[in-house]
A and B are shown apart, each in its own frame.
Chain A
Amino acid sequence: MIRDITLGQYIPGRSLIHRMDPRVKIALTFVFIVFLFIASNFEGLLMMVALMFLILFLSGVPLSQYFRSLKAILFIVLFTGVLNLFYGGGRVVWRCPFFPAMQITDGGIGNAVFISIRIVSLILFSSVLTFTTSPTELTDALERLMKPLKVFHVKVHEIAMMMTIALRFVPTLLEETDKIMSAQKARGADLESGGVMQRIRALVPILIPLFVSSFRRAYDLAMAMECRCYHGGEGRTKMKQLHMTGLDAAAVACTAVFCGAVIFCAAYFPASLR
């Protein structure tokens, strides 16, 4: 349910991937995505897919979970796949009898398969990150990864704090929305019938009280934070320290090998996209 959003898509576990430093996980996910686009032929892509299956296996998350996250993007994969069928060079395989301009070539089929694999891998790689890392770990890691941006006066601590608070208040505000909806229904508000415009208009009496109470909560929270000596990121410590271990070094080494292989493939085999 949406109520469990605090945990996001996180699936608790103790696998090798779960135990990795979240900073390394974020960085490596980024690298994977970049290399998915560097791989320009099926040989290189095969390397990335092999790496992906290795990671999926190590994550200990049931495959059914991954399928579920793919279902959400099925439409996009089909759409780009079908579209790519018609854009490609090479031998014509099929020509539309009504519009001769619409034709499927063997190059187009290759492109469609290639791009579909690319998108699916992209989603699976990022799913591994969100499935094995809790939102608090993610915000924590992001705060530390973004620290160098302080040079450019980016308020890194404040952004991370806002993310933490936002995550914390999502379930609270959902509960509140439920309550307000019930209260308005009890007064005869009709939220379920009518056209789109009418339904949007029906949301106003829910959004306004929600807004007002959010501000009241914000005021209370700010006071509670001050009572607990909050004074910005200056001089703040963290209870949970992030540590990189041998596990993270191994993961980086493993990634380097596969990425090296992708570069090798890109150099020695012809590009598959036509």
Chain B
Amino acid sequence: MDYITADKVTFAYEADENEERLEVLHGVSLGVRKGEFVALLGHNGSGKSTLAKHFNAMLLPSGGKVYVDGLDTMDEALKIEIRRRVGLVLQNPDNQLVASIVEEDVAFGPENLGIAPPEIRKRVDAALKAVEMYDYRLNAPYKLSGGQKQRIAIAGIIAMEPDCIVLDEPTAMLDPRGRDEVLRTIHKLNRENGITIVLITHYMDEAVGADRVVVMDDGRVLTQGTPREVFSRVRLLKDHQLDVPQATELVWRLRGEGYDLPECALDIDECVAALEPLLNS
């Protein structure tokens, strides 16, 4: 049984007069299992962010259904329950923080849920430790780096003790160091706390560490599978103007030139292992 189920979801933005109704999702069906790390790939306008916002009832499908832990997102009364279970982290860390002190910001979610103050304190401390920002709990957010701010935003979601976190391009506005920090945090939460992760990104390299990669194109699921399966379909991805990780690309091109190489290299280490015998011979 999937934790999140999207069943033939279509979505269209309400059109103004004289405008055509713009359908962004054309019948997407997708399941996310509990504890899974799913990377949702696609370029701008592929509908990946729109789909993600369906996972915690921020957007409601125009057609089809979305279920979270068996709860129908169309049911207005369940909205808070659903958002407690599935947290959404947005792209710009500056625009997600509410309070001017780190720990008070992290407490915002649990406060909204009406949790008792001593329990909030415990959760806030645990959440800040989980993202390794406990030492900064009394700082002002604007003095932190982008990666640190994004980790605070993640802590704010963890403090609600969700089963799943959906991250909508959380690294798009960060420098490489901040990106590493955030990715490491996400992987740690998935591994150690068993939190289901849906990571939306257009950096192919970030998708390599996922359990499953789902590629979206033009409001449909183009292909999905383990990173190895998906990134060996280089031709398919290229036909849809999508990139593959650089290591994969290199090996693929060399194979195209007729060199005897393994079918797919996902990261630099695999690429090195593949090329070493070739260079030595």
Closest chain B residue to A171, Cβ basis: B142
Instruction: Name A's interface SS.
Output: helix
The reply to whether the CB of A151 lies closer than 8 angstroms to some CB of chain B is no
Q: Are A6 and B94 in contact (CB under 8 A)?
A: no
Tell whether, in the assembled complex, residue A7 and residue B83 are in contact, meaning their CB atoms are under 8 Å apart.
no
Given contacts A225-B98, A236-B112, A238-B111, 15 further A-B contacts (CB under 8 A): A164-B98, A164-B100, A168-B141, A220-B95, A221-B96, A223-B58, A224-B98, A226-B58, A226-B83, A228-B108, A228-B160, A229-B83, A229-B109, A237-B110, A239-B117
Stretch at the interface among B18-26, B29-37, B84-92: B84-92
Q: List 26 A-B contacts (CB under 8 A).
A: A6-B140, A6-B142, A136-B99, A136-B104, A164-B99, A164-B100, A168-B99, A168-B141, A172-B94, A217-B95, A221-B95, A224-B95, A224-B96, A225-B108, A227-B87, A228-B108, A228-B109, A229-B112, A229-B113, A229-B160, A230-B108, A236-B111, A238-B117, A239-B104, A239-B110, A239-B121
Q: Is the CB of B142 within 8 A of A237?
A: no
List A contacts of B113 (CB < 8 A): 229
Most chain-A CB neighbours within 10 Å: which of B56, B100, B142?
A: B100
Q: A168-B97, A171-B142 are in contact. Are A231 and B116 (CB under 8 A)?
A: no
Question: Chain A contacts of B92 at CB under 8 A?
Answer: 217, 220
Interface size on A, residues (CB 8 A): 31
B114 within 8 A of A: yes
A175 with B142: CB separation less than 8 A: yes
Closest beta carbon of chain B to A182's beta carbon, Å:
18
Say yes or no: A239 contacts B107, CB within 8 Å.
Answer: yes
- B266, CB-defined interface residue at 8 Å: no
Q: In chain B, what residue has the closest Cβ to A164?
A: B99
* B163 vs chain A, min Cβ distance (A): 14
A240 at the interface (CB under 8 A from B): yes
Interface readout for A226-250 with B: 1 if CB under 8 Å, 0 if not?
A: 1111110001111111000000000
Q: Is B208 an interface residue (CB 8 A)?
A: no
CB of A165, distance to nearest CB on chain B (Å): 6
B87 touches A228 (CB 8 A): yes
Contact A237 B98 (CB under 8 A): no
Q: Roughly how many angstroms separate A216 CA and B83 CA in the complex, as a whole number?
A: 22
Alpha-carbon distance A236/B120, docked complex (angstroms): 12
Chain A 154-191 near chain B by CB (<8 Å), digits 1 or 0? 00000000001101100110010000000000000000
A228 pairs with B156, CB closer than 8 A = yes
CA A112 – CA B110 in complex, angstroms?
Answer: 55
Question: Is residue B200 within 8 Å, beta carbon to beta carbon, of the partner chain?
Answer: no
B115 at the interface (CB under 8 A from A): yes
Which residues of B have CB within 8 Å of A81? none
Chain B residue at minimal CB-CB distance from A168: B100
Q: How far is the CB of A247 from chain B (nearest CB, A)?
A: 21
Q: Specify which chain B residues have a CB less than 8 angstroms from the CB of A220 in the assembled complex.
A: 90, 92, 95-96
**Contact residues in B for A22 (Cβ distance below 8 Å):** none
A238 to B83 alpha-carbon distance, docked (Å): 20
- Bound-complex Cα distance A105 to B58 (A): 73
Q: Is B247 an interface residue (CB 8 A)?
A: no
Residue ID in chain A nearest B96 by CB atoms = A224
Which of A6, A168, A228 is in CB contact (< 8 Å) with B112? A228
Residues of B within 8 A of A221 (CB): 95-96, 98
Q: Which residues of A contact B117 (CB under 8 A)?
A: 237-241
